[in-house]
Amino acid sequence: MFDAKKTKDKIIDWLRDYFEKNGQDCNAVVGISGGKDSSTVAALCAQALGKERVYGVLMPQGQQHDIAYSRELVELLGIKQIEVNIKKSVDALLESIMESSFSLNRQATINIPARIRMTTLYAVSAAVNGRVANTCNLSEDYIGYATKFGDAAGDFSPLAQLTVTEVKLVAKELSLPPKFIDKVPEDGLSGLSDEENIGFTYAVLDRYIREGICEDAAIKEKIDKMHRLNLHKLELMPCYGNG
């Protein structure tokens, strides 16, 4: 049985230990989407370090329909706020690539904003003596639903061993309002929800991860294939001479 309160307390202790060993005066830098993952990570960091040591970075790409969630979350937690609109950076890179007469496919154009957001987080981090939080959860990592060197990057990862279901339970222990916990997860890039993109629900995925049970053979096969093909996102870079 998953104990959300015990897990919350353990993560907070782990965060304090991490910052004690990796920069006693450093700040936590968290990309804020207003969804459950970034909200939970920001709240955990605020409790572990104090809200004055947490920077919430909002990174809309032009007009973002749900940016109000992000702004409300940082106000609720009382953490420092930095808003950087990445549209000009994304457009400039796409234009430069097109000028070279090279065409990008849909996947490339979707991944570019995610990587520019991570570049933005590290720029902020360098300026504020920070460490960048990875906000991915176990469910996303298991099937590779994250952009390599984009949202899959970071210096520390509080939620990497928690499924979506478990993250929501920890968020409730942190007393986050339901609107942040239950916000429909979406990448903000493709125009689709996460579950529409992956083709099955997180409830099905989480049960398979924790219990090994998936009653739909086709979905089980798809999950297994996604996990196998995306292991490179979780493993260290292969190096010649290392095996």
Q: What is the pLDDT of residues 159-171, one digit of tens each?
A: 999 999 999 999 9
Quick one: which of 239, 61, 43 has its CA closest to 150?
61
Give the pair of three-digit tokens for residue 127.
């300026």
Exposure of 15 by Cβ count < 10 A (0-12 exposed, 13-18 middle, 19+ buried)? buried
The number of C-alpha atoms within 13 Å of 55 and in the hemisphere containing its C-beta is: 23
Q: What is the pLDDT of residues 176-207, one digit of tens each?
A: 999 999 988 776 666 778 898 899 999 999 99
Give the pair of three-digit tokens for residue 36.
């459950």
Average pLDDT, integer, range 215-224 = 97
The whole-number pLDDT of residue 188 equals 62
pLDDT band at 65 (very low <50, low <70, confident <90, very high): confident
Domains along the sequence of the chain with CATH: 4-233 (3.40.50.620)
Cβ within 8 Å of residue 181, ≥6 positions away: 36, 39, 168, 171, 172
Q: What is the pLDDT of residues 66-120, one digit of tens each?
A: 899 999 999 999 999 999 999 999 999 999 999 998 999 988 999 999 999 999 9
For residue 226, the 8-state DSSP code is: H
d(CA 58, CA 137): 19
d(CA 150, CA 227): 18
d(CA 41, CA 35): 10
DSSP output for 149-190: TTTT--SB-TTTT--HHHHHHHHHHTT--HHHHSSPPB-SSS
Exposure of 118 by Cβ count < 10 A (0-12 exposed, 13-18 middle, 19+ buried)? buried
pTM to 2 decimals?
A: 0.94
Give whole-number Cα distances, 57 to 72, 216, 230, in Å.
13, 39, 28
pLDDT band at 6 (very low <50, low <70, confident <90, very high): very high
d(CA 14, CA 66): 31
